[in-house]
Amino acid sequence: MSDDKKFKNYLLVFSVLLFLYSLTQKCYCTTSSCADSIMVMLLGWAALFSSLAGIAWIANPLLFASWWLLKKKLKRSMILSIFSTTLSLSFLMFDNIIDNEAGHHNKIIEYKAGYWLWLCSSLSMALGTSVLLLKQKNRKPG
């Protein structure tokens, strides 16, 4: 197995494990409660219709597509992982979020390990795929 294939395998496993571990953690706290990452991941799509902060949830399908494309379409995988990272980071821009079924907005007061692990999952893909593309560009034909 080539070094690039090994690196892709390690990168994929690392990113997926970070993501899965993030789902076992709290992701953020508001003035009323702390959110479980698994619930935010499963139900976060609904926030797209009720809150601008919900746009960060789109990072999930972009990250999943990045994983899917890693072996065959490296450049597309990198682009998707960069967008995923950017959207994950965008969550830091919002002060309030709807965090209950009644639609009440509460102030975000803390970001927990689940958020940071989720962000690192996308960031590791973005950095790893960028390194792989740079290696491919710098490789001499022959």
| Residue-level pLDDT, tens digit, the chain, 142 residues | 688 899 999 999 999 999 999 999 999 999 988 999 999 999 888 777 777 888 999 999 999 999 999 999 999 999 999 999 999 999 999 998 887 666 678 899 999 999 999 999 999 999 999 999 999 888 766 5
> Looking at residue 3, what is its pLDDT?
87
> Looking at residue 2, what is its pLDDT?
83
- In 1-142 the beta strands, taken as DSSP E runs, fall at 26-30, 34-36, 96-98, 105-111
The three-state secondary structure class of 36 is strand
The tokens of 38 are what?
Answer: 């698994």
The residues pairing with 108 across neighbouring beta strands, listed in sequence order, are 30
Phi-psi map region of 65: left, alpha, beta (phi>0 left; psi -120 to 50 alpha): alpha
> Looking at residue 78, what is its pLDDT?
98
Report pTM.
0.91
> Looking at residue 51, what is its pLDDT?
76
> Looking at residue 69, what is its pLDDT?
97
> Looking at residue 65, what is its pLDDT?
98
The tokens of 92 are what?
Answer: 């830091």
In angstroms, how far is CA 117 from the centroid of its own chain? 8
> Looking at residue 139, what is its pLDDT?
77
| Distance of alpha carbon 21 from alpha carbon 123, whole angstroms | 15
> Looking at residue 61, what is its pLDDT?
97
> Looking at residue 99, what is its pLDDT?
72
> Looking at residue 54, what is its pLDDT?
83
